[in-house]
Amino acid sequence: MESILPFHIHSLIKLLLFLTILHHLQPEASSSGPSPLPKEALPTKSGYLQVNSTTGSAIFYTFYEAKQPATPLSQTPILIWLQGGPGCSSMIGNFYELGPWRVSSNVSVEPNPGTWNRIFGLVFIDNPIGVGFSIAASFEEIPRNQRGVAKHLFIAIKKFIKLDDSFKTRPIYVTGESYAGKYVPAFGFYALKKNAKLPVSERVNLVGVAIGNGLTDPITQVATHALNAYYSALVNDKQKTILENLQKNAVELTENRNWSEATNARSRVLDKLQEMTGLATLYDLRRLTPYQSELVAEFLANAEVKKVLGAEENIVFEACSDVVGEALQEDVMKSVRYMVDYLVKNTQVLLYQGQCDLRDSVVSNEAWMKKLKWERIGEFLEAERKVWKVNGNLAGFVQKLGSLSHVVVLGAGHLVPTDQAVNSQAMIEDWVLEKGLFANEQVISEIYSNLKGSL
């Protein structure tokens, strides 16, 4: 998720001090009882993937092998999850959204019926360095742009693949939500470009990318909030005009490449929308209280949990890091749509949104999708939007053509797997396996032709 905390202008000294405190040795309350993470909930592998051997900066990960793989493990897909922010930990995704065990309101874990590792391997990565349990040796080393983020991710994921011989042949799908609407395309773009220069044995076997409620093309997306709120009956005409003026300012600052001020201008749009609507959260217009992702931070503050996960015990875990948010302040309004242009021509792409998210909404994502520089975008926009059902119940809508799939998930906000666990599981499984509404239209055509010929 995008960090709920607003950006602030800090001095470098204050940032470095905060980062020092974040990683400084602090006394932990000892756990006298059994670990709150039962043995059956432990990851298959977890720990650190070093991205800089000189400084020691490293990315933290947890990996859960497929529970019921439908193929030999050497062929079983691996999903990689990246959280948003910028600066939020993928442990939110792990323990609050799509991991095999979720933190409940009493800060204990319970099985997740919609986990994404039912038939696939699943990796959660704390990205960039300095986020969650990941280690940033210095503030200066935290990436300032998506190329820097992608470079670290490529190093870390290649090291992860080397942990097990079977990983080398397994298809990899990189997924994520919110600000990962930038991380995911950035990694995909970087990986495919690097792969072209590497021998087959050294490549990352990237097959597809999936983005949920993403911030991908901010200049386009920021200009949609007023109309979206107006036609959702959340603001009146006068308020719409006020929002439009704020949006115009954000767009102008972005066009002038005044990146930091453009980021602040976008925040003013969202703050004003929050004020006007009085909603508990823009992440889900239905909610009377915000998402309880802070439960993850409370759970991961436990020293025993840190120990069994293989996390550095001296790190004070935060769900979202202000320090990393500050490092990427000038990156927020920069578009990565051109990276999706490249990916949709070279791999599978899934874009999905929860129906009730106002922050990175269906409307805002459809606005930038229309601008894709892809030879089939006209066909895609004319493709049938099909009713999608899971277990006989309406789950949303799917539009697919070739390598591009778009899904609207009903009854969900920003955190789709939290709100619709089983449906999100069905979505990701069918997309990866190209089943149901996600089946390749060429395959369907061939099946139809064969059936017709046999009549």
Q: Please list the active-site residues.
A: 178, 357, 414
- Is residue 183 classed as helix, strand or coil in its secondary structure? helix
Alpha helices in 256-389 (DSSP H): 259-277, 294-300, 303-309, 322-327, 337-346, 362-369, 377-382
Could you tell me the sign of the dihedral formed by the alpha carbons of 306, 308, 125, 122, in that order?
negative
Spell 385-401 as b/e; 16+ CB within 10 A means b.
eeebebeeeebbbbbbb
Q: Could you give the CA distance from residue 79 to residue 223 in angstroms, rounded to a whole number?
A: 32
Spell 291-313 as b/e; 16+ CB within 10 A means b.
bebebbbebbebebbbebbbbee
Q: What is the largest CA-CA distance in the chain?
A: 77
Q: Are 186 and 338 in contact (CB under 8 A)?
A: no
Write out the H or E segment, with its range, that includes residue 208: strand 206-212
- Is residue 58 classed as helix, strand or coil in its secondary structure? strand
Q: Could you give the CA distance from residue 302 to residue 293 in angstroms, rounded to a whole number?
A: 16
Q: Are 267 and 7 in contact (CB under 8 A)?
A: yes
